[in-house]
Amino acid sequence: MERLDTKELEQIISLYLDGELEPDEAKKFEEYLTAYPSVARDVEILRAVKKTLRAKEKLPANNWFWLRLSNSVESKTSHTSLRQLLSRPALTLTIAGVFIVLVSSVIYLKDAPLFHQFFLEKKTQVQSSLMSGNILPLFSNLNNDDVLNFALFGTIPLDSAHHTALQVKNSEKNGSQIEIVRKESGSVKPTVRVSDFCTEVGILKPQQEIIDSILGSYKERLLASVLVSENKEIAIHEQLVNLNRAMVSTIAASLEPLQRTKFQRFLEKREAPYALVAVNAPKMKPEILLSAIPKITRSNKYVVISKDTIGIAEMRMNIDSLRQNVLRRASHPHPVATKHMIQELAELERQFSNTVVVAGSNSHRVRVFTDNNAFKIDLEAPSPIVDGFELVDMVKPRMNTPTFLRGRQQSVTVMGDSGFAFEFPADDEALRIFRRLPQGEFRFEIIDSSERSPKMKILLKSAQNKKAFEEKLLEMKKREQQLIDLDSLLRESEQSLNSGKPLPKKEERKVLDL
């Protein structure tokens, strides 16, 4: 068989490898390869190359591609189209005329940036969505009782029977979470009314107006915190998870120290997730309080959930326009929205295989969990309290009660993470003991000044102390030793310090049963 010309051979090898030779040509070439083993080796090398390239590893999918692209497309096309229009003189006059007409409906245009980013769709569609009221706040029908319940428990009911609720949770251990919780019978959380709160905390009439104003202001925040659309998108303000903490802080700041003590008990009694930590701080003036409530700003970050995307998007917000949308629409979006959220998130979970997904910067992570009835979103929140909150943070997350103490809650009260607390009858002897506790490690205060049953409370100041104390209690439990003899310990250390002599034999013990 005659040897082929180099260039011709190169071409035939290439066609052969691509399967482009006719069957008889391929057969003939295979005979040629048998006759020329060096060419056959070249073919094998190229076959290996082709096979390796075909199996080239693919990049991991980018789930945020569309979210980023849509923003770029939107901003680019809006600039371009305006430029194009203005470059045509005939149209400029028309635009000027139309502009005058549009001024009268400027309210709609105000919302355009929000919807551009929210729907990530073309401008005209976005504006038509706005006109037909397609975007609605999920929480548009809240009353002050609902707002107070959200402040205290982080829960907002999604149905009138309170079987389904949106719940936010925020703890140092588990981070921030937004959940839809369901209960087949009964309500999802204890509910309180503002009137109960006022009675139990001893709120006076003028104060009640301030409380109403506080709740009203936060109602605005909640209105803009969860948005839903008929196009199945949901946007949740990333700081919704911290909002109830800010609310409890604001309410607490409006109270007198004694009322705060009662508020503390009110929270404890209902196992609210937060506890007060600055009970003795001075009462704040109402005007300062109300101005310090974090407002929805022009630019806000939302967790946006759509059928195929979950991410964090910057959106502009106009409360007035949202409210107008609510007025334009008669029916309430709750049932539809909840159903959609669960369906959409179930789909998202399937797509993302329950993996952590990151949007924009590394400082925001969102994780979604779902089952048939509920879903949970874990957020890596950027700050422990709402941005723009200008008051002292007066609350801390309540600590879980250690298991072995649960039966003893009459005498032991567990508070926030810096307020692991024990309550004692505040008799003279106990007061004497606790006033002598080393400063800096423990703090105590009388929490009820009534003469009948004064109580006092010991607070451990840091998480480390709390942990050490828990360990000590666990250790004691193991040894079946249920008593702590604080008094004798203190006396011993005092005597030792005063005399420099060896410690005398214990004569008297004040035993505190924990």
Partner 1 sequence: MRKTAVINLRDAHIPHEQKSDDSLIMLFQSGEKSVFRYLVHRYQEKVRNLIFSIFNEADVVDDLAQEVFIKAYEGLQNFRFQSSFYTWLYRIAVNRSRDEMRRRKVKKFFTFQSVESTTNLKIENLMTTTFDDEQLRETIEQSLNRLPEKYRLPIILKDIDGMSYDEIAEVLGCEVGTVKSRLSRGRTMLKEMLKPILA
5 binds partner 1 (CB under 8 A): no
Half-sphere exposure of 344 (CA within 13 A, CB side): 23
Q: Which is nearer to partner 1, 18 or 480 (CB)?
A: 18
Smallest gap from residue 81 Cβ to partner 1 (A) = 11
Alpha-carbon span 397 to 400, nearest angstrom? 9
Residue 86: how many CB atoms within 10 A of its CB?
A: 11
Give residue for tokens 């082709």: 50
The least CB distance from residue 53 to partner 1, in Å, is 4
Choose the binding region for partner 1 from 25-33, 44-52, 318-326, 329-337 (rule: CB under 8 A). Answer: 44-52
Cα-Cα-Cα-Cα torsion 216, 222, 223, 224, nearest 10 degrees, comes to 130
Q: Which of residues 286-325 bind partner 1 (CB under 8 A)?
A: 308
Point out which span in 41-49, 311-319, 346-354, 486-494 binds partner 1 (CB under 8 A). 41-49
Binding status of residue 122 toward partner 1 by CB under 8 A: yes
- Confirm or reject binding of residue 53 to partner 1 (CB under 8 A): yes
Does residue 350 interact with partner 1 by CB under 8 A? no
Cβ proximity to partner 1, 45 vs 288, nearer residue: 45
Binding span for partner 1 by CB under 8 A among 122-130, 150-158, 378-386, 405-413: 122-130
Task: Select the residue interacting with partner 1 from 29, 32, 70, 415 (CB under 8 A).
Answer: 70
Residue 13 contacts partner 1 per CB under 8 A: yes
Residue from 27, 28, 76, 339 binding partner 1 (CB under 8 A): 76
Q: Which two tokens stand for residue 108?
A: 């709609």
CB 239 within 8 A of CB 381: yes
**Stretch in the footprint of partner 1 (CB under 8 A) among 61-69, 161-169, 477-485, 490-498:** 61-69
CA 127 to chain centre: 30
Region binding partner 1 by CB under 8 A among candidate stretches 48-56, 189-197, 295-303, 425-433: 48-56
Among 25, 28, 34, 45, which residue interacts with partner 1 (rule: CB under 8 A)? 45
A 10 A CB-CB count for 60 gives: 6
Token pair in block for residue 206 = 């003028």
**Residue 54 found at the interface with partner 1 (CB under 8 A):** yes
DSSP letter string over 426-491? --HHHHHHHHTSPBTTEEEEEEE--SSS-EEEEEE-SHHHHHHHHHHHHHHHHTT--EE-HHHHHH
Report DSSP state, residue 52.
Answer: H
Q: Does 11 bind partner 1 (CB under 8 A)?
A: yes
Q: Work out whether 62 is an interface residue with partner 1 (CB under 8 A).
A: yes
If we measure between CA atoms, which residue out of 514, 239, 492 comes closest to residue 387?
Answer: 239
Question: What φ, ψ does residue 447 adopt, rounded to 5°?
Answer: -100, -10
Q: Give the range of 55-63, 134-142, 360-368, 437-445 binding partner 1 by CB under 8 A.
A: 55-63
Residue 355: strand, helix, or coil: coil
**Residue 168 CB-density burial (10 A; 0-12 exposed, 13-18 middle, 19+ buried):** buried
For partner 1, the closer CB: 124 or 353: 124
Q: Smaller CB distance to partner 1: residue 52 or 481? A: 52
Give the C-alpha separation, 424 to 427, whole Å: 8
User: Which lies closer to partner 1 via its Cβ, residue 53 or residue 330?
Assistant: 53
- Catalog residues that contact partner 1 under the rule CB under 8 A: 10-11, 13-15, 17-18, 20, 41-42, 45-46, 48-50, 52-56, 58-59, 61-62, 65-66, 68-70, 72-73, 76-77, 80, 120-122, 124-125, 308
